[in-house]
């Protein structure tokens, strides 16, 4: 697949570098402290998206699968997502998290990538 993986976080440039090093990523990692990209994509930014019951269920599910939340870096109320862009910058697919822990299934994401590339 001819795909470039890019991470964009709401933390500082130093936190972005730490994220890249900590996870040994062979991908670009950018900082968007002003949340410009998040806003342009329509990503949710609210305290409520961190305290609804689905967040607790997602946390339990993550814990049972061996994952632990570490210190939050960046804007803790900012929800993320996945955007697949074409080479000319058009959004071909967008998944915006409704709450903390609302992640797209990796198999579904791979299907979306394959569909866009075909």
Q: Give 97-108 pLDDT, tens digit per residue.
A: 999 889 999 999
Interval 38-57 mean pLDDT:
89
pLDDT (0 to 100) of residue 97: 94
Q: Determine if the pTM surpasses 0.85.
A: no
Would you say residue 96 has pLDDT above 70?
yes
Could you tell me how many residues make up the chain?
118
Nearest in space to 98 (alpha carbons), one of 81, 76, 74 = 81
- Where are the strands (E) in 1-118, listed by range? 6-9, 28-31, 81-85, 91-96
Kindly report the average pLDDT of the chain as a whole number. Answer: 89
Pairing of strands 81-85, 91-96: antiparallel
CA distance 7 to 67: 19
75: left (phi over 0), alpha (psi -120 to 50) or beta: beta
């Amino acid at each position: 697949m001819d795909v470039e993986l890019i991470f964009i976080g709401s933390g500082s440039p130093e936190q972005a570098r730490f994220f890249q090093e900590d996870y040994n990523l062979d991908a670009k990692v950018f900082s968007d402290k002003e949340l410009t990209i998040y806003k342009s994509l329509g990503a949710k930014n609210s305290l409520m998206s961190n305290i609804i019951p689905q967040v607790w269920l997602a946390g339990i599910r993550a814990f049972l699968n061996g994952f632990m939340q570490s210190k939050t870096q960046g804007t803790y109320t900012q929800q993320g997502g996945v955007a697949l862009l074409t080479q000319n910058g058009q959004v071909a697919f967008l998944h915006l998290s409704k709450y903390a822990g609302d992640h797209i299934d990796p198999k579904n994401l791979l299907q979306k990538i394959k569909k866009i590339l075909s």
